[in-house]
Amino acid sequence: MSIITIDPTTLSLLSQVKDVAELRDKDGNVVGFFTPKAKSDEEIKKLFDLDKARKKLASEKTRPFREMIDELDKLAEKQG
């Protein structure tokens, strides 16, 4: 893998990218793709409280995934 150091202006632009971005030159030719850094496990853990989710799951009525998909399929058929 090659390492390329980018200037602050480019860094600012790329920091706003949330998904894979196509990079082009001024003539519109593709020069490559940029993939933003994924969140670390620690960052993800800060966004999701597993204990809270377990408590909610234990206290709410649940249905099998297959049952929900079948219901959505029936609704889609009705709407044609």
pTM: 0.47
Q: Which domain holds residue 68?
A: 8-79
- Domain count for the chain: 1
Is the pLDDT confidence value at 72 over 80?
A: yes
- Indicate the helix (H) or strand (E) that contains 51: helix 50-59
Mind listing the pLDDT tens digit for each residue in 4-60? 999 999 999 999 998 899 999 999 999 999 998 888 888 878 888 889 889 988 898
Q: Specify the pLDDT at position 15.
A: 92
Q: Specify the pLDDT at position 6.
A: 94
CB 37 within 8 A of CB 20: no
Q: Does 51 fall in a domain?
A: yes
Q: Specify the pLDDT at position 56.
A: 87
Q: Does 68 fall in a domain?
A: yes
Q: Does 2 fall in a domain?
A: no
CB 6 within 8 A of CB 23: no
Alpha-carbon gap, residue 46 to 40, rounded angstroms: 10
Q: Does 66 fall in a domain?
A: yes
Q: Specify the pLDDT at position 49.
A: 87
Count CB-CB contacts under 10 A for residue 75: 9
